[in-house]
Amino acid sequence: MIVAERKPMADIKDMLAGRKNVLIVGCSECVTVCQAGGEKEVAVMAAALRLMRETDGDPIAVETETVTRQCDPEYLEPLQKKVAACDCILSMGCGVGVQFLAEKFTATWVVPALNTRFAGGTVEAGVWEERCGLCGECVLHLTGGICPVIRCSKSLLNGPCGGSQGGKCEVGKGEIKCAWQLIYDRLKGLGRLDLLLQPMPPKDWSRAKDGGPRRTAREDAQL
């Protein structure tokens, strides 16, 4: 999932300066799971916004709606009426959701309530970690299901480097596990250390974000 976290309220306050009627739009997908922009967080944001603006003596009218997915235009269609009645949309979706809202409602100012962080998962209640670098050319079949692109601090394809000490990466304060130690341990356990004998060639980074905005089209899925 896409993992996001709420921006500081001071930033949100600045973005909404002068606005009198805001529609907060949540999303029921990733940001609900990472507890940043689901129905519950939208309700808390609405209450906090009202409290903040009333404390400042500048009340704001707040309307809320949480859609199934902000990254799908068909789910934004039912928002038309509420959008027409507001002077600003505060999206509690990821960066994709914010942009889809802005593309859909061209005459309305749309601002993000969240900072979109990474593609990851829940490692324990309330803790989310990055797992995928979205490089566009997956090598997990060669590394025992552990991604060297995002879990190695240097994104080494043929690791580890000299900064691996006792299974920990030299980056950080000892909380980051060395991805290549993890890969070695896993491949050893599975009896597939032979995979490490074959050096990995350089990746085609044009398939990653360096090649401009990416697009996938499937003719069979198109109408």
Residues that bind another protein (CB under 8 A): 8-10, 13, 40, 43-44, 47-48, 50-52, 54-57, 59
Tokens read off for 174: 């000892």
Pairwise CA distance, residues 121 & 3, whole Å: 8
At position 184, the amino acid (one-letter code) is Y
| Closer by beta carbon to another protein, 33 or else 43 | 43
The residue (of 38 and 133) whose beta carbon lies closer to another protein is 38
User: Please, which residue, 53 or 104, has the CB nearer to another protein?
Assistant: 53
> With respect to another protein, which residue has the nearer C-beta, 11 or 72?
11
Do residues 62 and 50 make contact, with C-beta atoms less than 8 angstroms apart? yes
CB-hemisphere CA count at 13 Å for 196?
18
Closer residue to another protein (CB): 16 or 27: 16
115, 104 contact by CB (below 8 A)? no
The least CB distance from residue 38 to another protein, in Å, is 12
Rounded CA-CA distance 36/11 in Å is 16
Cβ count near 79 (within 10 Å):
20
Residue placing its CB nearer to another protein in the complex, 13 or 117: 13
Smallest distance, another protein to C-beta of residue 25, A: 18
